[in-house]
């Protein structure tokens, strides 16, 4: 259910962002003085064509039309969209040879406008990037300055189905039927642990990196791996899931006396919600949803000290008290 809601939200976000991409592209193109090898030209790109022996060619940027064509002196309409810079040069040299013995035509890209990609969320340089040639997800993230220190673990890609489905396991079409959406783990991309996820990025893709700090839950006390865990784009996570993230109960845990420590806006003292984990694990009690910034505290029957240094100050004192209260 939550994934469906997320995909509806991302589909709407993608529509708004794609519209903004086209608007931003009208005045913020990258300039280039040399052709980019392998770059495939497309509508709205602006190119400069030069030839010493063809003075009729205007020495100014020529926009490629929405149909991919440009119109030039002597030879008329020429299909430029879908060709690389080098392929267009070859084509123009062939066409101009009808009128000039050795035309020696060169093509440079003045403005890259045809392949916008939006990288938003917890990255260092969010915004619209114009792709030059084929770029992978890792390369596009690098162009956006990489994830911020406050980034979460979830990366979402949204792609218009006109560009095909995203070639990743778990990719799904959103309810509108217009977009393909997929979720990835940011660390797996950056650490190279999942090379198959480093897919080629397409024009008008929207890449969203989640924010972590405001969307964390914490598990402390007598568990195998206490720590902070991101909810990603979820609004809550079950107690059993949180306990699983923490590696399960410790050998000296007192699951019957577990607590959820929760900050309540406007109140100076955190709220404590009693939870009998033993009953939750056996299915005899409700598996309550943990909200962002909640702390699941598992008390201990031993004298072992448990770290709470990673907790916000307001919650650390309450969590320490709950761990050792017996």
> In this structure, which long-range contacts are made by residues 279-287, counting pairs with CB atoms below 8 Å and at least 24 apart in sequence?
280/239, 280/240, 281/240, 281/255, 287/238, 287/239, 287/240
pLDDT at residue number 285: 93
Please tell me the CATH code under which domain 214-324 is placed. Answer: 3.10.560.10
pLDDT at residue number 182: 92
Thinking of the domain 2-21+114-211, which architecture would CATH place it in? Roll (3.10)
pLDDT at residue number 214: 61
Beta bridge partners of 43: none
Give the C-alpha separation, 2 to 154, whole Å: 14
* Closest-CA residue to 281 (of 251, 324, 243): 243
What's the alpha-carbon Rg for the chain, to the nearest Å? Answer: 28
pLDDT at residue number 31: 36
Each domain of the chain, given as residue ranges in start order, spans 2-21+114-211, 46-111, 214-324
pLDDT at residue number 53: 87
pLDDT at residue number 38: 67
Contacts of 313 (CB under 8 A, 6+ apart): none
pLDDT at residue number 302: 85
Per-residue pLDDT of the chain (326 residues; tens, 9 = 90+): 444 444 444 444 444 444 443 443 333 333 333 445 567 888 888 999 999 888 889 889 999 998 999 999 999 999 998 899 999 999 999 999 999 888 999 999 888 777 889 999 889 999 888 887 788 999 999 999 999 877 777 899 999 998 899 999 989 998 888 899 998 888 788 878 888 899 999 988 999 987 765 678 889 999 998 888 877 667 788 999 999 999 999 999 999 999 999 988 777 788 899 999 999 999 999 998 998 889 999 999 887 778 776 676 667 778 888 887 64
* Closest-CA residue to 107 (of 67, 72, 66): 72
pLDDT at residue number 30: 39
pLDDT at residue number 27: 38
Domain 46-111 in this protein, CATH class: alpha beta
pLDDT at residue number 97: 92
Cβ burial, residue 313 (10 Å; 0-12/13-18/19+): exposed
2-21+114-211 and 214-324 share one CATH topology? yes
């Amino acid at each position: 259910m939550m994934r469906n809601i997320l995909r509806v939200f991302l589909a709407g976000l993608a529509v708004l962002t794609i519209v903004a991409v086209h608007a931003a592209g009208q005045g913020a193109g990258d300039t280039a003085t040399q052709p980019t090898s392998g770059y495939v030209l497309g509508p709205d790109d602006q190119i400069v064509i030069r030839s010493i022996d063809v003075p009729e060619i205007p020495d100014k940027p020529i926009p490629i039309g929405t149909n991919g064509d440009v119109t030039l002196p002597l030879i008329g309409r020429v299909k430029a969209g879908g060709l690389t810079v080098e392929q267009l040069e070859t084509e123009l040299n062939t066409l101009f040879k009808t009128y000039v013995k050795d035309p020696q035509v060169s093509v440079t890209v003045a403005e890259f406008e045809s392949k916008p990609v939006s990288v938003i969320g917890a990255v260092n340089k969010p915004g619209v990037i114009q792709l030059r040639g084929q770029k992978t997800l890792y390369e596009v993230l690098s162009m956006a300055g990489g994830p911020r220190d406050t980034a979460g673990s979830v990366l979402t890609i949204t792609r218009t189905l006109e560009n095909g489905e995203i070639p990743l396991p778990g990719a799904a079409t959103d309810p509108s039927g217009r977009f393909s959406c997929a979720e990835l783990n940011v660390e797996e991309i950056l650490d190279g642990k999942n090379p198959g996820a480093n897919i080629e990025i397409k024009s008008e893709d929207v890449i969203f990196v989640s924010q972590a700090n405001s969307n964390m839950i914490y598990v402390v006390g007598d568990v195998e791996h206490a720590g902070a865990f991101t909810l990603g784009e979820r609004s809550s996570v079950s107690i059993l899931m949180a306990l699983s993230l923490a590696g399960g109960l410790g050998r000296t845990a007192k699951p019957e006396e577990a607590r959820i420590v929760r900050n309540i806006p406007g109140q100076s003292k955190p709220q404590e919600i009693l939870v009998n984990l033993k009953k939750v694990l056996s299915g005899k009690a409700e598996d309550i949803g943990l909200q962002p910034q909640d702390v699941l505290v598992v008390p201990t029957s031993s004298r072992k000290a448990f770290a709470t240094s990673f907790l916000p100050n307001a919650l650390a004192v309450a969590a320490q008290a709950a761990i050792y209260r017996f």
